[in-house]
Homo-oligomer: A and B are copies of this chain.
Amino acid sequence: GAVPVVTALYGAGCRDFFVAHAEEGAEIRACAPDANIYVLDGFYEGCTELYIAHSLTPCLGSFAEIADYQALARSQEKPLPAMLNFNIRMNRLGLNKIETKELLDNHATMLAGIDVKGIMNHFSCADTPDHPITETQFKVFSDIARNFDAVFPALIKSLCNSSGLFRSPDYHFDLVRPGMALYGLNPTPEQDNPMHPVVRLEAPIIRTRIVYQGASIGYDATYKFKNDTLIATVAAGYADGLPWSLSNQGAFYWKGYRCLIRGRVSMDMSSIDLSAVPENDRPQVGDFIEVIGDHQNPAMIAKDAGALDYEILTSLGKRYDRRYLSA
């Protein structure tokens, strides 16, 4: 949903977007014509044309990337914009301590031709309150920022993901990068969600039936009924991004009643138990059941599935009919 989401954020005044890959930057350029679009993965082979054609700004995190990007700037005969990304305790992307010192000592040559827009780092543990790594990342990043300020004037500094944003105003610097919070997930999982939910998912019932006492259901007959039970077959399965690990674990909701998933989640379907629903409130074939909504958020599904709440949203299948509502 990058295009409608970026369009809405752009309409709300956002002029800085971070994407993982250059292809994603290219996809959203038309919805955010004069915005800064930063590519978190950095500058990598095969995407040079996308960077130029769509004016993307890489977040450079290694000497090799910096050198390659410098070469591109030379070939374009103009300075090209970049963020510099530092590695502090995350050990995923970014320049390490020794590289950072070397870059500072030799910035005149190593960064020649690169229009350094800013510096960045990423919190790894900010979803846990008072995690010691969070404070370390803040302090080390602050030191790097001071060192770079001595050399480059007016650098943008960016440190916060969704969780960091809610931990301390000290962490905000010039530019924050909320991700999951924009999609209504809870950046402070130890307390109530400060964000409104923004994603709803409903799936239709395509068959109901009584399954009799002693019978089983679904692949490998993993659930056996202790009583005659009203079951609904719902047209959403793991090919739609509902984890197979929800088999005999998760639930969907009808009018607030928790309807347990019975048996294995199939590729295109799931079976739910309507026992909890009073007889005069029961859904019919064609009715849509709540998968994500007022009674079940992605974190609850993730807990049942042994998954991550972010993952529940990034896995939402492409067969769903998506509707974007205005605020």
Contacts and interface: CB of A to CB of B under 8 A. Distances in A.
Interface of A: 20-21, 23-24, 40-42, 44-45, 61-62, 64, 87, 89-93, 96, 124-125, 127-128, 131, 133, 179, 204, 206-207, 209, 211, 215-221, 231, 233, 235, 238-239, 241, 243-245, 263, 266-269, 271, 285-286, 306-308, 310-311, 314-315, 318-319
Residue among A42, A124, A131, A271 with max Cβ neighbours from chain B (10 Å): A124
Contacts of A233: 92-93
Given A93-B269, A124-B219, A244-B311, 19 more contacts: A20-B267, A24-B319, A41-B268, A42-B206, A42-B207, A44-B206, A45-B286, A61-B207, A87-B209, A90-B218, A91-B211, A92-B218, A92-B269, A92-B271, A93-B233, A133-B216, A238-B310, A238-B314, A267-B310
Contacts of A285: 62, 64
A125 B243 contact: no
Residue among A125, A179, A314 with max Cβ neighbours from chain B (10 Å): A314
Given A42-B206, A245-B307, A307-B243, A89 B216 contact: yes
B220 A124 contact: yes
A192 to B, nearest CB: 21
B93 A125 contact: no
